[in-house]
Amino acid sequence: WVVHLATSPRGPAVLRPFPGRPLKQLPQFGGQHAEQLLWGTYRPGYYFGMRMRQPRSLLVGLMWMDPQRSDPLGNIRHEAQQRDGLAKYGWLQHDGQQYGLQQLWDEQYNITTAWAKRLCAECGPGGDWGVSVAVQERAQPGQQQPQRRLQEAEEDVEYEGEEEEQPQPQRPRQVVSLFLYVASEDGSPLQLDLTAAAAALQQPAAAGPASAPAVSGRLPPLRGWQLHLHRTDSTPVQAAVNYLGLATPHMHNLTEAVRQGIYASLHRQRAEGAQQYRLELPNLVQPGANVAVFQVTSLLPLALDLSFLSGLSGGAAEPPAGRLAAVSGLGLQQLLADGSAAFERRFAATFGSLAGGSGGGSTEQAAAAVPASAPEVARAALSNMLGGIGYFYGHSLVRLQEQQPGGRLTETTERLWDTALYSAVPSRSFFPRGFLWDEGFHQLLIRRWDAAVSRDILGHWFDLMNAQGWIAREQILGEEARARVPAEFVRQSPDAANPPTFFLLLSEMSQWVAAAAQSKDWGDTTRADAQFLKAAWPRLRAWYLWFNSTQAGPVPGSYRWRVRDPSSSRELNPKTLTSGLDDAPRASHPSDDERHVDLRCWMALATRALATIGSNLGLPHKEVRPFLAAAAHLEDFGRLNELHLDQGSGEYRDWGSHTEDVQLRQPVQTLADGRQVLVGDMQRVVTGQQPRPQLVPQFGYISLFPLLMRLIPPASPVLGRQLELLRDPARLWTDYGLRSLSRSASLYQARNTEHDPPYWRGAIWVNVNYLAVQAMRHYASTPGPHQGRAAQLHAELRGNLVGNIVRQYQATGYLWEQYDDTTGQGKGGHPFTGWTALVALLAADQ
């Protein structure tokens, strides 16, 4: 990818945003919509964190520490991380807008964080809100594992014959330190009222909410704001309250700031000759502090409320008592109860019989075919998808190569413009940021729940497009996001694609719009969809043209993912990260002659989507005609088969320079004395047949794309053959879903380098399985000779997937990135509530 940097006075197109009004500025995303969504749990990379959807926000967050464990300071809980080893955590309910209930199960105790928002006429923009944080010791530590159903854990179940008090083993009573913080990203100073905070946190809540805020300040558009804290448990013990006020522009390492604060206090205690050290903040406030942290250390149970009020004229002035009462104590409990009830009503209306309700259009048979606990898991999956929505602000870094006079290539790192991303994330712990093709899958679920939120997310993503029509695959915006990515993965390449999954939803959207236009029966949703699609059209078109030009293949109608590395010497089969299927095997020797069947099928989807959207928008025929023609071309079954069908096996395949005879070998060096020693990393060697141009015999997800994108005519024997291949347990079929690579493929479960374990080489992934279930459903409802078989496979595959994901959730407490194809066990990132959360749609048979 060679750019000429001096092309335009406004800088090179690659570094400029797509021209025109950003989609996020559409009227539908302003006004009440923006107000309603201003505040939220938009920091999904943390166990609990609130912020506003604006570049410079106030951040509110929670950390905790167990002072009685070993290495407490090395185990402060804040960022959601796998190495913390929480038995389970996540949202049990979350509506994506104004209410959520989360449980976190740490070693010795459970923490509940529940929040709710209250919009009112006198409230500041975005409303007032409250968070209830409660820490409870587990009744019998270690025993109440996630296998126990959550409802049971919540209810106080009394069993007959168990009324006698069992003698409890003696152990020290549990202590916890909670750290509650608020920080202004713009550096605006905070007022800490230490007396008020101490009074409100030391004593149990007999006196009701404290009347002075612990922290206050001013920030546009909130005007004056206040954060009140108060303890709500009834443990008759005084808590220790400590604090720290810091002036710092850095928000990505607040855990470290707290740790350093405690070290400072430990030094002081030592200097003072303390006999026993206390792990406490140093009770210091730096001048101009923009970060305030309060530490509450107490015996369990410990519970407290955070209450946030804004729109006030004076900062620390007298709080409006009625408003404070509405988001604290009993008022907050009522708000939470209302939020919970509303969530349940909406869940029932959306997911129909799965939730025991009647809406949503799913059938009773559908509910009957899944485990009894599927609704509980679907609730958690949906809630974690919504609770995983974040707001990020900053710029991407890109890697550019420039051709110097004389032909030499130089590489530079450039930054794109600062921008906002409102998006769900694949995994709160492992990848808490936006990923392009993941997000298209996320929208299938989010759209079902909240069309406005979904459109807003789509708008933000399309606003990331540069003037060439490119959208970066991984969005690492801002300090908090960048702090979590190893440097070598940060830069994005402007020739790197990623499957255009947004078209899965967009073409459906345009069909609803067309139906509304035809029947003259417009609802708010179709009206807003129409406005959105119309405004998005230039970007959709540019995105499409970018794909069509930069990812074009060697022969007409073929496509090739860029950035495979032909000079790779250590990879058994060079990866194709851009395809999303990372190490799924393709031609062993990357070359410009390759053609990738999955990309051709994605392009068929995209082209048809453009044609459909353009027609439904009523655009002039000459604008739509090229897409109609191109779609017909890409859907041409004969041409598809010419390029990709292996007649002998009936398998769809990539084409390229390939040999099956490759191995990783440890290089050996012969020393002067004749001894041989192993040196360096393993290298890929060809052990037999040299590579030659051919269809690549590695049957896996890639081979399924013509079926997944429904490009096979229902009457064709090819369809029958695909169903046979798919159902074959020696290939992709397992009791838990479809594995990514055939058990009979030579690279099945093969390591790609000595450091890279197999990833898409056998494991079961939910996104592709979801597409397979939907494709089966499509062929089951389309007349043809294979209709009955498709219906059978639809039911079987759906049952296998839902059954296993539900079982694994109950056994481990998590949804997982992938599932093992021999045992069904969850593997990789967790919690992974990105596309794995599509289990909610599968369970509801939607």
Nearest distance from residue 832's CB to ligand 6A9, in Å?
8
Using rule CB under 6 A, residue 831 touches ligand 6A9:
no
Cα angle: 153, vertex 156, 160; to 5 degrees: 115
Burial level of 683, CB count in 10 A (0-12/13-18/19+)?
A: middle
Residue 229 to residue 214: CA distance in whole angstroms:
6
Using rule CB under 6 A, residue 556 touches ligand 6A9:
no
Residue 702 to residue 584: CA distance in whole angstroms:
8
Residue 701 to residue 737: CA distance in whole angstroms:
12
Residue 819 to residue 540: CA distance in whole angstroms:
34
Interface pick for ligand 6A9 out of 106, 185, 233, 438 (rule CB under 6 A):
438
Residue closer to ligand 6A9, measured from CB, 104 or 766: 766
Q: Do the Cβ atoms of 64 and 70 come closer than 8 Å?
A: no
Burial level of 571, CB count in 10 A (0-12/13-18/19+)?
A: buried
Using rule CB under 6 A, residue 89 touches ligand 6A9:
no
Of the residues 106, 571, 583, 817, which is catalytic? 817
Interface pick for ligand 6A9 out of 39, 437, 544, 547 (rule CB under 6 A):
437
Using rule CB under 6 A, residue 470 touches ligand 6A9:
no
Using rule CB under 6 A, residue 115 touches ligand 6A9:
no
Radius of gyration of the chain (CA): 28
User: What ranges in 357-471 are assigned the alpha helix state H?
Assistant: 364-368, 374-387, 436-449, 451-462
Phi/psi of residue 632, nearest 5 degrees: -60, -40
Contact map string, positions 581 to 600, toward ligand 6A9, x by CB under 6 A = -x------------------
Nearest distance from residue 153's CB to ligand 6A9, in Å?
30
Interface pick for ligand 6A9 out of 85, 406, 486, 688 (rule CB under 6 A):
486
Interface pick for ligand 6A9 out of 48, 179, 181, 430 (rule CB under 6 A):
430
Q: Are strands 49-52 and 58-65 parallel, antiparallel or unpaired?
A: antiparallel
Interface pick for ligand 6A9 out of 426, 440, 494, 656 (rule CB under 6 A):
426
The residue range among 88-96, 281-289, 369-377, 484-492 that interacts with ligand 6A9, by the rule CB under 6 A, is 484-492
Q: Residue for token digits 């990833």?
A: 759
Residue closer to ligand 6A9, measured from CB, 484 or 727: 484
Nearest distance from residue 431's CB to ligand 6A9, in Å?
5
Interface pick for ligand 6A9 out of 422, 435, 559, 652 (rule CB under 6 A):
435
Q: Which of 764, 754, 750, 578 is nearest to 660 (CA)?
A: 750
Per-residue buried b or exposed e for 88-119, using 16+ beta carbons within 10 Å of the residue's own CB: bbbbbbbbbbbbbbbbbbbebbbbbbbbbbbb
Using rule CB under 6 A, residue 770 touches ligand 6A9:
no
Using rule CB under 6 A, residue 571 touches ligand 6A9:
no
The residue range among 379-387, 485-493, 716-724, 774-782 that interacts with ligand 6A9, by the rule CB under 6 A, is 485-493
661 is annotated as an active-site residue: no
The tokens of 377 are what? 């898991």
Burial level of 257, CB count in 10 A (0-12/13-18/19+)?
A: middle
Q: How far apart are the first and last CA of the chain?
A: 42
Nearest distance from residue 51's CB to ligand 6A9, in Å?
22
Interface pick for ligand 6A9 out of 5, 274, 349, 485 (rule CB under 6 A):
485
Side chain identity at residue 742, one-letter code:
S
Residue 534 to residue 527: CA distance in whole angstroms:
11
DSSP notation for 309-357: EEEESSSSS---HHHHHHTSHHHHHHHHHHHHHHHHHHHHHHHGGGGTS
Nearest distance from residue 693's CB to ligand 6A9, in Å?
27
Residues whose CB is less than 8 angstroms from the CB of residue 534 and which lie 6 or more positions away in sequence, other chains included:
617
Using rule CB under 6 A, residue 580 touches ligand 6A9:
yes
- Please give the size of the binding site for ligand 6A9, defined by CB under 6 A: 13
Residue closer to ligand 6A9, measured from CB, 479 or 593: 479
Using rule CB under 6 A, residue 84 touches ligand 6A9:
no
> Any bridge partners for residue 686, and if so which?
662
Nearest distance from residue 426's CB to ligand 6A9, in Å?
4
Interface pick for ligand 6A9 out of 341, 489, 661, 744 (rule CB under 6 A):
489
The residue range among 27-35, 483-491, 527-535, 721-729 that interacts with ligand 6A9, by the rule CB under 6 A, is 483-491
Using rule CB under 6 A, residue 461 touches ligand 6A9:
no
Phi/psi of residue 283, nearest 5 degrees: 55, 55
Residue closer to ligand 6A9, measured from CB, 282 or 426: 426
CB atoms under 10 Å from CB of 666, counted, come to: 11
Using rule CB under 6 A, residue 179 touches ligand 6A9:
no
Residue closer to ligand 6A9, measured from CB, 197 or 445: 445
Of the residues 582, 636, 756, 796, which is catalytic? 582
Residue closer to ligand 6A9, measured from CB, 437 or 816: 437
Nearest distance from residue 356's CB to ligand 6A9, in Å?
32
The tokens of 668 are what? 């050996």
Q: Which of 455, 370, 418 is nearest to 801 (CA)?
A: 370
The residue range among 481-489, 658-666, 691-699, 807-815 that interacts with ligand 6A9, by the rule CB under 6 A, is 481-489
Residue closer to ligand 6A9, measured from CB, 307 or 576: 576
Using rule CB under 6 A, residue 819 touches ligand 6A9:
no
Contact map string, positions 374 to 413, toward ligand 6A9, x by CB under 6 A = ----------------------------------------
817 is annotated as an active-site residue: yes
Using rule CB under 6 A, residue 705 touches ligand 6A9:
no
Q: Do the Cβ atoms of 439 and 833 come closer than 8 Å?
A: no
Q: Do the Cβ atoms of 658 and 588 come closer than 8 Å?
A: yes
Nearest distance from residue 546's CB to ligand 6A9, in Å?
19
Using rule CB under 6 A, residue 343 touches ligand 6A9:
no
Contacting residues toward ligand 6A9, per CB under 6 A = 426, 430-431, 435, 437-438, 484-486, 489, 580, 582, 834
Catalytic center residues: 582, 817
